[in-house]
Amino acid sequence: MSAAIDKANLLNAALDDWRTGVEGKPAEGTVKALFGWYRGHVRYLEASHRTREDYREMMAHVEAVQLKTMTFGQRRATEVNAGHADALYRYLVKERGARQGAYCMQVCRRVWNEAIRAKKVKDPNPFARMGIKMTAKKGNRANTRAEYDLFRATAREMGFQSMATAAAISFELLRRVSDVFGYILEPGDEERGFFWEDYQPGIQFAMRQGKTGDMQIIPLRGDPDPDSDDPEVRDRGPLLYPELEAELARMVRGRGHIVISEQSGKRFTEREVGRRLRAIREKAGLPTDFTMTGFRHGGATEMGDAGIYDIRPVSGHRTLQQTATYNKATQEKARSAGTARQRHIAERARKGKTG
């Protein structure tokens, strides 16, 4: 009986804390207040922008879970035990799926670990040793050249030339989606991506990689071919990325970042890109596992099929997965890789016509 009374008193105290809390500020000692404390912690602040965004989202899911008399965010953090953690996990799996449920528990475990170290809550961590396995997300499927062509044609038909150009940059030059769209997530991101000032039609494309900070120059023509019937190829060499340059030529050349939203005139946000991708994918009848990241994988796969083992001169990767040594990429290697790729594309097209 006394245990029940003590429990009721604790719940009433938590409710009073919530009622008397300052508007806009969570009551001291609650789960929501603990999450707020963690968001000011050095471990949180040192994480990448994407990780911080994900953590904030998971914390919000946990806080919003409705209990009988309050939300989980209004519960006193010191009262949370293993039973509560298990029940919370089951609820979140039911409402949001296994992956997000597991991710929420992972975030809670991290928060409690830091809170225990800071003596804000007591050991043991109720979110530890829950036996949850975080299944790895299935890797992005490589988009084929046929899908790439269909996507670009559909994007143009829908008035989304920017998306067709983004697909071309990613597929042809093996670029990360974040670099293609130049997402501004952190200070300094304004300098990342592809700019009109760095593009010389039929000559070269320069860009700075967001992940490594490296500046890279990609030649857009191969070596001159004195035996060619085309005078431009004889004098200047063949174009290595004709589809890419065709998409760029369809755009109105301006200043600053190339891939910008037709609606806002500014760089895309990740959410905007997701909406555009889904609309184009649905209109084109492309599979649901077709992604923007799949363009980079598809381009890399095509280069591999062309017999190019080291794609770093084009992709900008610093290391090969198979070796720990760093072999500096050069413009000449990039030119050779592009030339070999064009031969492969032409040969495949020839076989398709004759076969």
Residues in the chain: 355
- 6 within 8 A of 82, measured Cβ to Cβ: no
Question: 30 forms bridges with which residues in the sheet?
Answer: 76
**3-state secondary structure at position 219:** strand
CA distance 337 to 209: 19
Give the model's pLDDT for residue 73: 95
How far CA 152 is from CA of 106, 155, 262, in Å, comes to 39, 5, 16
Instruction: Please state the rounded mean pLDDT for residues 119-148.
Output: 83
What the block records as the tokens of 97 is 């799926």
Which amino acid does the sequence have at 67?
L
CA distance 182 to 195: 10
Peptide bond into 26 cis (omega under 30): no
Q: What is the pTM of this model?
A: 0.59
Q: Which H helix or E strand runs over 215?
A: strand 215-219
Q: For the purposes of burial, counting CB atoms within 10 Å of the CB of 184, is it exposed (0-12), middle (13-18) or buried (19 or more)?
A: middle
Higher pLDDT, 339 or 98: 98
- 74 within 8 A of 31, measured Cβ to Cβ: yes
Confidence of residue 169 (pLDDT cuts 50, 70, 90): very high
Domains of the chain, start order:
2-117 (no CATH), 145-354 (1.10.443.10)
CA distance 7 to 145: 64
Give the model's pLDDT for residue 323: 23
Instruction: Please state the rounded mean pLDDT for residues 203-207.
Output: 86
Widest CA span of the chain, in angstroms? 98
pLDDT in tens, 286-328: 999 999 999 988 888 887 776 766 555 554 444 334 222 223 3
